[in-house]
Amino acid sequence: MPLTRREFTARSALTGAGVALTGAVGALATAPGALAAEERAEESAGQAAGGVRHGYGPLVPDPEGILALPAGFSYRIVTHSGVTTLETGESTPSNHDGTAAFEGPRGVTLLVTNHELKGPRTNWKYPVPLTEGLVYDPAAAGGCTVVETHRDGRTAARVGIAGTSTNCAGGSTPWGTWLTCEENADRAGQNGMTKDHGYVFEVDPYDRRANRRPHPIKAFGRYEHEAVVIDTRRGHAYLTEDASGPNGLFYRWSPPAGFRHGRGRLRHIPEDAGILQAPKCYDAGGRFVDDLSRATRTGTVFGVDWVDVPDRDARTVPVRKQFAEGAVTRARKLEGMWWADGGAYIVSSYARDESPGRPHDGQVWFYDPRRRTLTLKVLLGVNPDPSAGGAFDGPDNITVSPHGGLVIAEDGEGFQHLFGATESGRTYPIARNELNIGTEEEPEYSEFTGVVFSPDGRTLYANIQTPGITLAITGPWRRGPRH
């Protein structure tokens, strides 16, 4: 049974440190630029106590000006908007975002990639093509593509869904499908749209016919969706919202009694099926926590109650605005999620003046559904000079690595990295985006997105969002030390 508020408070008072931490990643404090424990403050980035090196060494500049990697690593371009094409001959759509990797036949990996294209199709040079039978709203530019990648480097790409808007992080399901999320809640008639947006759609990477006549999963609610994961044991869906004014929410959808998940079943459930709820957190003293930015130390544990959403389709009021003050717990830029270790890893990219707690440049939380607790695993301090490099800021998409720890896509200021966080709490660089889309005087580097390992763990896939490039990174991956 989950902890009640009274039980959580009593246990925390007895232990003095909250509920014990579990999971493969452990309690992660980060460096450089992190609010880390004092005993770690003297350790240099990438160098643990006792001289054991974490990570793979310094990044080597790329003569092609695309991706800096450690020595011994290499990359290849899988798709490149405006350069590669789909099977129809049309260009690969731009603005790559959330991605999942599925095991295909005979060594093929199937990548499903969101394209975060907002507003009318006329706004974009390379929108998702309106493939017959796969279109939700012909006015919208977004959607996702399915890419078959072969061991010899050959690729074949097609549209998975079209006519959706601002497809962001999304998430895969235990039954082998992709949930693509719209981070946009335009109504029909707004910004040229002909249908309501702000929904989640299911895309099957294996069965093209299953994707015909796209239908939104309205039971998951209509708001600025970011990511979604499925509780493999209980069947709950957890969803994040990237919004402000007020800050967004972390949601739980509980399936109706007797419902069993499976391929395509979500698209057929009634729009009021199950229960959609938002969290109400409290600290070890039983005090209400209004925003996750209140946490100032890794290892902080909050208990979680769940509050019903009054109107999940937001007919008159956006979902996050339907709660009275003190009713729910919010956070700024709730972004990527990943299900592992029996719970959900959840990212809040940063907090500034719009948040009531301490400013930060990124948090990663772990929600334990059995204990009904949120534990702060990663906390990045505010980076005073992002242009200088070294510190990481703005975590976004994440994955749990088969080699241990987390791999995180950076969406911050200045340089953009893929970086790892070890099980002991150290951070280290894996890749740096060197594709300057600005000028020599004012360089600009697009965010990384869609970080995910291949099913066999040998290849790390990631996207440079602008202009839209998917990269396959290989090298001497190894499991790092656990201290």
Pairing of strands 237-241, 225-230: antiparallel
- Phi then psi dihedrals of residue 210, to 5 deg: -65, -20
Residue 419 pLDDT class (50, 70, 90 cuts): very high
Average pLDDT over residues 122-127: 97
Q: Which two tokens mark 441?
A: 């005087």
Average pLDDT over residues 322-339: 97
pLDDT score recorded for residue 152: 85
Higher pLDDT, 138 or 384: 138
For residue 216, CA distances in Å to 53, 199, 225, 367, 391 come to: 47, 6, 12, 26, 40
Q: What is the pLDDT of residues 355-392, one digit of tens each?
A: 999 999 999 999 999 999 999 999 999 988 877 766 79
- Does 35 have pLDDT greater than 70? no
Average pLDDT over residues 244-273: 95
Domain positions in the chain are 72-473
For residue 268, CA distances in Å to 66, 204, 216, 219, 478 come to: 43, 14, 9, 10, 43
- Does 36 have pLDDT greater than 80? no
E strand or H helix at 11, and its extent?
helix 5-15
Average pLDDT over residues 456-481: 93
Residue 427 pLDDT class (50, 70, 90 cuts): confident
3-state SS record for 191-225: CCCCCCCCCEEEECCCCHHHHCCCCCCHHHCCCCE
pLDDT score recorded for residue 389: 65
DSSP code for 307: E
Average pLDDT over residues 103-131: 96
What pTM value is reported for the model?
0.91
pLDDT score recorded for residue 333: 95
What whole-number distance in Å separates Cα of residue 380 and Cα of residue 398? 15
Q: What is the mean pLDDT of the chain?
A: 89
- Does 73 have pLDDT greater than 50? yes
pLDDT score recorded for residue 390: 66
Q: What is the pLDDT of residues 49-67, one digit of tens each?
A: 344 467 899 999 999 999 9
> Cβ contacts of residue 20 below 8 Å, gap of 6+?
none
Q: Roughly how many angstroms between the first and final C-alpha of the chain, as a whole number?
A: 32
Q: What is the pLDDT of residues 108-117, one digit of tens each?
A: 999 999 999 9
What whole-number distance in Å separates Cα of residue 445 and Cα of residue 434? 7
The answer to whether the CB of 79 falls within 8 A of the CB of 155 is yes
The answer to whether the CB of 166 falls within 8 A of the CB of 180 is no
The answer to whether the CB of 82 falls within 8 A of the CB of 91 is yes
What whole-number distance in Å separates Cα of residue 133 and Cα of residue 418? 36
pLDDT score recorded for residue 49: 37
Average pLDDT over residues 121-147: 98
The answer to whether the CB of 140 falls within 8 A of the CB of 121 is yes
| Nearest to 417, CA basis, from 366, 462, 480 | 462
What whole-number distance in Å separates Cα of residue 78 and Cα of residue 472? 7
Look-up of token digits 């969101």? 114
The answer to whether the CB of 66 falls within 8 A of the CB of 425 is no
- Phi then psi dihedrals of residue 14, to 5 deg: -70, -40
Average pLDDT over residues 301-319: 97
Q: Where are the beta strands (DSSP E) in 320-442?
A: 334-340, 343-348, 363-368, 373-379, 395-400, 406-410, 417-421, 427-433
Residues of the chain with pLDDT > 90, as a percent, come to: 82
Most confident of 28-42, 323-337, 378-392: 323-337
Look-up of token digits 């763990």? 457
What whole-number distance in Å separates Cα of residue 420 and Cα of residue 67? 16
The second-level CATH assignment, the architecture, of 72-473 is: 6 Propeller (2.120)
The answer to whether the CB of 229 falls within 8 A of the CB of 220 is no
What whole-number distance in Å separates Cα of residue 81 and Cα of residue 93? 6
What whole-number distance in Å separates Cα of residue 28 and Cα of residue 422? 7
List own/partner pairs for 38-41 with CB under 8 A and 24 or more apart.
40/425, 40/426
